[in-house]
Every structure is written in C-alpha cells, then in structure tokens.
Amino acid sequence: MAKLPDRRTVFPAYNTMSLIDIEFSPPAMRLPKQVADYLEQMETHIEQFRNKAPNRFQGFVPSDYVRFYEAISHVLDRRLACGNLFCEWGSGLGVATCLANMLGFNAYGIEIDEVLVQASQQFAEEHELPNQFIHGSFLPGDADDVVDAAFAENEGCISMYAHADDAYSQLDSEIEDFDLVFAFPWPDDEDLTATIFEKFASNGALLLTYDETDAYRLRRK
C-alpha cells in the first residue's frame, strides 16, 4: 500500500471537529478469486456456527460483505484514509476485519462476546489470515458519561450498555490511533456510535457504518 499522509499534518487541530459526510458511491466490482472463495467458505462457516450456537445469533444480521469490500476498496482507490490502521467495532465472526486485512489494512476486530472472538480467531487461522481479534469493549474507559447520558435520553433503549474490559489496553492503542473504523450498530445505537467516534477519534479519521437499510455511510471527523 502506498504511504499515506499523516493525519496530524493534514488535520492538525485534534478533537475539535464534528463528523462530515463524504459523498460515497462505491462502484460494483468483480471480486478477486481469493476474496470470493473466502466469502463462500465463510458463508458455510457462519451457517455451521449458527446451527451450533443459535443463541449467539439472536437478532444477528450480517453486513453485505461484498459491498463492504467494494466500500473499503473505494476508500483506498480515492486515498481517503490518512493511514492503514483499521478497527471493526463489534467484529462478530471477523469477516469485515479479515477483508480489510486482505486489502492491506493493519486491521483489528473488537468483540464483546468471547465465544465469537474464539470463533473468529479460529476462522482467520484456517484461512491463513492475521489473527487480530480482541475480546472486550470498543468503548474507551472514559466514555461512561456519554453512554449513561444516551441511556437516560433513550429510556434505556440502547444495546451498547454492557460493561467489559477496555479492548484498547490489550492493543496498546487508543481510538485516536485508528484511521478507519467500521461499525454495524443496532438501530438504537447509531447515534451513540457516531457520538463516541466524534468525541474520541482523531481529526481526519473515517467512520464507515452499515445500517438496516442496507446502506453504507462514510463520515470524516
């Protein structure tokens, strides 16, 4: 991957900006054989895991991984990211994180469900992909006030209200270190996800989200 500019130079004023929507219409593309084969095999893995541990998939809706691959390919083609450090918030079985790795990102997945983390690690190893999945919360330790406020404002209607170890301490990193964050939040958590990113990410970082309307949205801080 070509060396990208340091966001500290391009966006020198840290943590003072709001999120800005980026016009984003990734074109359809023919998947490389390695990617197509991986997604076909992961579809089988996911179905087998779903049958083996159905309680883990209550309400589970996977992203459109073909469109995800097209989306982050488009980010690379347009040189939108200031670097190649990627983080998936709520990585599930790790498909998006592995696709980002296949495209050259230094990609990590954070997942609060330990069983899903173990499965994603196993699947990554089976496909000879980097095993970079962390069990814990993508919420930073000092985000409690933001989450509590959202919980109160929404009369408890958020899904993110779960306590777990801060994953960033295991990565020896902070949210502000990541150049591109991907999330597929529950509908009640969409605003809170953006708020967390806006408050803690570095200026110039990108937030890519997928929602229940099957739409990808790209925003820059």
With cut-offs at 50, 70 and 90, classify the pLDDT of residue 50: confident
pLDDT tens digits, 96-136: 999 999 999 999 999 998 889 999 999 999 999 999 999 99
Q: What is the DSSP string of 58-106?
A: TT-----HHHHHHHHHHHHHTT--SSSEEEEES-TTSHHHHHHHHTT-E
Listed residue (88, 160, 102) closest to 130, CA to CA: 102
Q: Return the CATH number of the domain spanning residue range 28-53+61-220.
A: 3.40.50.150
